[in-house]
Every structure is written in C-alpha cells, then in structure tokens.
Amino acid sequence: MTHLPDGRFVDDEPYDPQQSILELERRDLDAPNWLLVWRKFRTHKLGLVSGVFLLLSYLLLPFMGFIAPYSPNYRNADHLYAPPQSVRWVHEGEFIGPFIYPITAEADLETFQWKFIPDESNPLRIPFLCKGDSYKLFGLIESETHLFCAPEGATLFLWGSDRLGRDVFSRILYGAQLSLTVGLIGISVSFFLGILFGSIAGYLGGKTDWLINRMIEILRSLPELPLWLALSAAVPSNWSPVAVFFIISVILGILDWPGLARSVRAKFLSLREEEYVRAAEMMGASSARVIRRHLLPNFMSHLIASATLSIPAMILGETALSFLGLGLRAPAVSWGVMLNDAQNLASIELYPWTAIPMLPIVVVVLAFNFLGDGLRDSLDPYS
C-alpha cells in the first residue's frame, strides 16, 4: 500500500481477476450472530453507555456496604435533617486533600428549626480505608472496612440526613441492593409463566389456547394498582423484611406475565407452520422439544429486549407499593421506602434533599429503556 502526496492510498499488489469483490461481505455474513449483534449495538451510543452503567451498578451491589460510610439505620440524634456537606480540597489557598468542615446544630428561635453552622476554621480530612460500622460483604463476609468514613468528632452527610438523622447517601446505596434486585426476581417469575403459558397456547391451540386466552383476558381486565394494593395488603405485617421482599417480587412477576404470554402465543402461531417445525414433528420430536429447541431460539431476541423493558416496570412497581406503605417496610431499605418519608410537600420544601432517592430511580429506569431500545435494534442484525 503506497501513500501518495495528495493523501490517497494505492494498492501495490497486482490485480487478481479471480478474487471475488464480495469477499468482505461474505465474511460479514458468515460471522457468528453474537458478533453481528455487537457490531450493531456498539453504534447505538446511548444504549451502550446505559448498558455499561447498569453492568457496573449490578457489579457494585455486593460492595455497597464498603462504599457507604454509615450503616443504613445508623442514627445521629443531634443532626436531624442536616443539609448536604460539601467535600472540599483547598483551605485558605492551601491544598490539603479531600476534607469537610464540621457542622454544629443550633436552634433558631424565630423559625423553630435547627440551623447547621459549619466551622470553616477547622478543616477535617476524610479518612480512607477506615474502620466503621459492620456490614456483610456479598451478604456473607463480616467486615468493618469502609472506602471512606466521617472524620473523628464530625459527621459526613454527602446528601444530607433524614428526619431520624440517618445518612441519605448510605441509605440510597443500601436501597439499591433491594430496588435493583426486585426487578430481576420479578422478571424471572414473569418470564417463566409468560413463556410457559404463551408457548403452550400458541403451539397446541384448540381448547388449550382458548382457556389460556380467557385467563389472560381476565387478568388484564383487572385494574393493576388496586390489585397490587390488595395483594400487598394481604401480606402479614409480622413477616420479616426478607420474606416481604420475595413476596413483593413474586407478586410483581405474577401480574406482569399476561402481556408476554400474548406476545409469545402470537409468535408461535406463525412459527409452528414453518417447514423446519413440521420436519421436526415428522421425525418424532415431542412438543416440548420442538418448543425448546426450535421455536424459542427464533424468539429469543424479542424476549431479551422485552426483559430489559420490563425490569423498569418491576422497579417502579416496588417503588409505588413501598411509597404507599404497602410494599417493603422499615427496617428494610429501598428507594421506595425512602420516598415514603418524602410524602409531605412541606417537608420537601424545607428539606429538598429528602427527595434525592427519586433521582436514582429516574436514572436507572431511563438506562433500562435506552438499553432495551439498543438491544431491540441490534438483536436482528440482518434487518
């Protein structure tokens, strides 16, 4: 290859009339499906960034206790509704590393509220890899080491504290472990039921199809929110937070499967007439094998895209139930439980940082939607 002065490149190899001009295209068509999907997906910048963000979020879930400076239910009775504290690097023109100014609570006798006065003459450096409240790494390993802690004799409320003096930043990190996991459990239940009933109805047809369709129509005719409230209210109040968490996840999955089942049924009605399905049946393949080995793989791209779009609905469902006081309850920590404390508009007006848990919900739901759009466009690379 020769580089000419005008910027062009000229191939020095002699012309070969036997070489096919379609060689590059043929190589692309012979590439494995996952490679074609990846090539198309990485051109969807918004979906790619969202996928990386969600992957990092889920990978960090076991380490939230290490990142959070406090335990989720640690209370500081002297700092109720403390405002967010700024992390600074330079004090009076001198660089001393990340530090904070300690704050002191004083009663305002005119407004009858607490005022927090920073002591700007006393910078306190933030210690890293320090000892703090105990937590369980991966839910199994007991540890007291934190990424950073509050300086000795001071507080570190990066996003303020709530009405009980609990750190909002730490509670949001711990709340992610429940709020992000509830979608995965719910979608697992939803997909199992949706694929099971949808594939049976679409492949077998007849009375089985009629019966499953009537069941789907009855479930879809019920108002969703009142049904959520009724099922959640039926959960005994003396159950542990873990038991309530799994029950809420199962309830969300059970109520979400009819839509997926109808999509699977419609797809199977068209695929079951294909020649390769008839050939498998004539060779003696059972109905279960035909569905599992021949029909579902042709529908998998739609299922993956549907999953990424259904998980946000599960997260919002848990948030709505916990916000109304019928989902997860204290001492369990989720984003919906935290927003339950922000129902009072007057409280939000005075202490706006109590509504911060709304931001990760918005960011995560948007990320799942962008990822779903990117996967939906990429999982059919030949389109």
**Residue 141 per-residue DSSP state:** E
Examine the fold and report which residue of 156, 189, 211 is the final residue of a domain before the chain moves on: 156
Quickly count: other Cβ atoms within 10 Å of residue 171's Cβ.
Answer: 27
For residue 135, the enclosing domain spans 85-156
Question: Rounded CA gap, 326 and 318, in Å?
Answer: 9
Q: Do 129 and 249 reside in the same domain of the chain? A: no
Residue 53, pLDDT score:
93
**Residue 158 per-residue DSSP state:** T
Output the CA angle 249-252-255, nearest 5 degrees. 145
Q: Do 325 and 375 reside in the same domain of the chain? A: yes
- Give per-residue pLDDT as tens, 15-41: 666 555 445 455 555 666 677 777 788
Q: Do 182 and 149 reside in the same domain of the chain? A: no
Examine the fold and report which residue of 110, 126, 156 is the final residue of a domain before the chain moves on: 156
What are the angstrom distances between the C-alpha of 104 and each of 68, 92, 113, 150, 168? 23, 21, 13, 15, 18
Question: Rounded CA gap, 254 and 187, in Å?
Answer: 9
Q: Do 328 and 188 reside in the same domain of the chain? A: yes
Q: Would residue 195 count as lying in a domain?
A: yes
Q: Would residue 4 count as lying in a domain?
A: no
Q: Do 250 and 125 reside in the same domain of the chain? A: no
Give the chain's domain count.
Answer: 2
All residues at 6 or more sequence positions from 63 whose CB lies less than 8 Å from its CB, including other chains: 137
CA dihedral (130, 132, 137, 140) in degrees, to 10, reads: 140
The pair of three-digit structure tokens given for residue 288, joined into one six-digit string: 């279960």
Q: Do 105 and 185 reside in the same domain of the chain? A: no
CATH number at residue 332: 1.10.3720.10
Peptide bond into 331 cis (omega under 30): yes
Q: Do 203 and 350 reside in the same domain of the chain? A: yes
Examine the fold and report which residue of 156, 180, 202 is the final residue of a domain before the chain moves on: 156
Q: Would residue 371 count as lying in a domain?
A: yes
Where the chain has pLDDT below 70, the residues are 1-3, 7, 9-33, 326, 346, 380-383
Q: Do 298 and 223 reside in the same domain of the chain? A: yes
Q: Would residue 9 count as lying in a domain?
A: no
List own/partner pairs for 293-299 with CB under 8 A and 24 or more apart: 295/199, 295/203, 295/268, 295/271, 296/195, 296/199, 298/271, 299/264, 299/267, 299/268, 299/271
Q: Would residue 366 count as lying in a domain?
A: yes
Q: Would residue 17 count as lying in a domain?
A: no
Q: Do 293 and 335 reside in the same domain of the chain? A: yes
Q: Would residue 324 count as lying in a domain?
A: yes
Question: Rounded CA gap, 170 and 27, in Å?
Answer: 51
Tokens 């021949």 correspond to: 294
Q: Do 142 and 186 reside in the same domain of the chain? A: no
- Give per-residue pLDDT as tens, 50-61: 999 999 999 998
Q: Would residue 332 count as lying in a domain?
A: yes
**Coil/strand/helix, residue 222:** coil
